[in-house]
Chain A
Amino acid sequence: MDNAFADRLRKKSFLLPEAYGNEFAKRVFQRKDILFALAVLLFFIGLALFAPLISPYDPNAIDLKNKNLNPSEEHLLGTDYLGRDLLSRVLIGARTSLSIASGVVLISLFLGTAAGCAAGYYGGIVDESVSRVIDIFLSFPGVIFALTIMGVLGSGVFNLMLALSIVHWAKFARMMRGQVLSIKKQEFVLSAITGGAGDFYIIRKHIVPNAIATLLVLATIDFGHVILSISTLSFLGIGLPADVPEWGAMLSAGKEFMRTAPCQTIFPGLAITLVVVIFSILGDGMRDILDPNHEGGEIY
């Protein structure tokens, strides 16, 4: 492969493993912004886990007498077009988004790491073919790809996870391939190879541990993207069945009543934004540690 497009795709992921393992963890816990984002994330996860206990109402209880209400003391965020309590629905929606996104990121991470390892480690024809497949998957806008797959599979939690994983694995594979190529050149890998260690042993003991920090950063950044994709597909009515409470779907249903009851549009969107912002702060902070920016001088 020697065209500039593909090269750029790969170079983009080429972070040298400068800080790994303990050193990386130590520096992560020294940064206030990361710690703050982690605390907020844990809070969100807590809310999602204990949603049924915290929610003031049953998120699916229909109450047509109290539909499209604005925030009040009984309903802190108001109610939707079927009179369901919006706060309870937003809380339970966190479960949907976070759990599906975790699934997608884990599957993509696993698939991508495996493919990237194979391509980077074995090189030759394996690398050629895997890289070619990665290029094709990356030359297609992700949302549209997922949309097409969902069109075939039909809506559903499992199908959504599958579709998004098919879209997202390629990023991990590209990153992992770059990592493997750079780690493979390091002395300790060369000496392990000379020492007669098996391929699987080298990948498990040397390559994966050294790439883990970079993969973690990508996974964190990607987590936010996956949450955005989930809500986009649900918003289009292609993602999840109607009875699963999800922020994008809530927005989609609520937008019809935007003129009179804008809360149904505002709050679910705010929830999505906040969660994605948290993952952006986490991901950016960790990436800064791996790949610190150069200092800029002042101009006068």
Chain B
Amino acid sequence: MSLLEIKDLSIEFPAGENTVKAVSHVSFEIREGETFGIIGESGSGKSVIGLALLRLLPANAKVSGTVFFQGQDLLSLKPSELRKIRGKKISLMPQNPAGALNPVLKNGLQMEDVFEGNRAEKKEGMKKALKLMKQLFLRNPEKLCTLYPHQLSGGMRQRLTACISLSFEPEILIADEPTKGLDPEAKAGAVDIFNKIKTEYEKTMLLITHDLDLALEVCDQIAVMYAGEIVELDLASKVLSTPLHPYTKGLIRAQPRNGLVPLSGQSPSRIKLPEGCFFHERCRYSGFECSRKHPEIKNYKGGLIRCHFLSLK
């Protein structure tokens, strides 16, 4: 059964007199225990989705659609109800661990934040959190709690934020670009961490990343996003080994081990989106229809795809 159901989610930001369409009409669902990946270039709107689920976007963002979690629409919950879900039932693993840790507070205090409001819970929770830290390859967690964030290495900060996000044993973990800006060694560490979270804790995860290796390693299902839309959605193995959408093909070809063939051109302006398929200007298979009519998302061989040329493949 599905734990989180996102229907027709659209997000816009005002920019001067225009509006930037960051995400348009995105729908997907995440089943219990599965890891759902969203991949795409930076600026494709994937991080915005993660933040929108917990309503963490700036106040000027216009969000429409519904996000159902345990029978409640997260987008229309009261703030006090929302706080009971944030960090406790759905938690966020932030994009940039260095920025997500408050530089003037000790690490321990920042872990306790999650248990705020309940003394007994706090004590019990911190014990569990310390155990969790050990399991996530952090040695000497008690000492770590008395240090400040700037005294940790990048990889340690990464693991610390992972611990903070997991310490309340949430039902869903949203990981936003967990490998962005990490060096290769720390990246490999991150893959280990996610495998561990997945296999040992059997967590449901939403993994937002541009790192296809991580996605292949960890995800069960993958949605590919382009210009704020889902263009392909299927099992991870299928999407990454036999991609159907020309954009997904391009993404895979751009990987270093596949010859580093970059996609030509740039993502379209999000203030004035092109007519027809958003990808047609960069698409090597683009035909007459592509520049006229915007393709709908369609079922195809068990997955979903947004392209006019299904029949050719």
Contacts and interface: CB of A to CB of B under 8 A. Distances in A.
Chain A in direct contact with chain B (Cβ < 8 angstroms): yes
Interface string A278-300: 00000000000000000101101
A297 B59 CA distance: 6
Contacts of B117: none
Nearest to A299: B59
A298 B58 CA distance: 6
A300 B79 CA distance: 6
B22 to A, nearest CB: 15
Contacts of B57: 297
A128 to B, nearest CB: 30
Contacts of B59: 297-298
B58 A295 contact: yes
Contacts of A297: 57-59
B75 to A, nearest CB: 13
Contacts of B79: 300
Output the residue of B57, B59, B79 with the most chain A CB within 10 A. Answer: B59
Interface residues of B, number: 4
Interface in B42-75: 57-59
Give chain A's interface secondary structure class.
Answer: loop
A35 B58 CA distance: 30
Nearest to B58: A297
A298 B57 CA distance: 8
Interface in B182-204: none
A13 B207 CA distance: 43
A112 to B, nearest CB: 34
Interface residues of A, number: 4
Contacts of A298: 58-59
Contacts of A295: 58
B113 to A, nearest CB: 15
A297 B79 CA distance: 15
Nearest to B80: A300
Nearest to B82: A300
B144 to A, nearest CB: 28
A81 to B, nearest CB: 55
Nearest to B79: A300
Interface in B77-108: 79
Nearest to B59: A298
A32 to B, nearest CB: 14
A63 B296 CA distance: 88
Nearest to A300: B79
A298 B55 CA distance: 11
Interface in B13-67: 57-59
Contacts of A300: 79
A295 B61 CA distance: 13
A295 B58 CA distance: 9
Interface in A248-300: 295, 297-298, 300
B67 to A, nearest CB: 17
B19 to A, nearest CB: 16
A11 B143 CA distance: 34
A171 to B, nearest CB: 30
A295 B59 CA distance: 11
A298 B59 CA distance: 5
A28 to B, nearest CB: 17
A297 B243 CA distance: 38
A188 B200 CA distance: 56
B76 to A, nearest CB: 13
A240 to B, nearest CB: 48
A300 B59 CA distance: 10
Contacts of B58: 295, 297-298
Nearest to B57: A297
A139 B309 CA distance: 74
B135 to A, nearest CB: 33
Nearest to A295: B58
A295 B60 CA distance: 11
A120 B79 CA distance: 53
A111 B55 CA distance: 53
Nearest to A297: B58
Interface in A69-110: none
B87 to A, nearest CB: 15
Interface string A123-135: 0000000000000
A30 to B, nearest CB: 11
A27 to B, nearest CB: 13
B72 to A, nearest CB: 17
A298 B79 CA distance: 12
A267 B79 CA distance: 51
A300 B77 CA distance: 12
A295 B79 CA distance: 22
Nearest to A296: B58
A295 B13 CA distance: 13
A94 B58 CA distance: 46
A300 B58 CA distance: 11
A117 B186 CA distance: 45
A118 B273 CA distance: 53
B28 to A, nearest CB: 26
B57 to A, nearest CB: 8
A283 to B, nearest CB: 24
Interface string A36-47: 000000000000
B16 to A, nearest CB: 11
A9 B79 CA distance: 43
A104 to B, nearest CB: 39
B79 to A, nearest CB: 5
Q: What are the nearest 5 A-B pairs in CB distance?
A: A298-B59, A297-B58, A300-B79, A297-B59, A295-B58
7 contacts: A295-B58, A297-B57, A297-B58, A297-B59, A298-B58, A298-B59, A300-B79
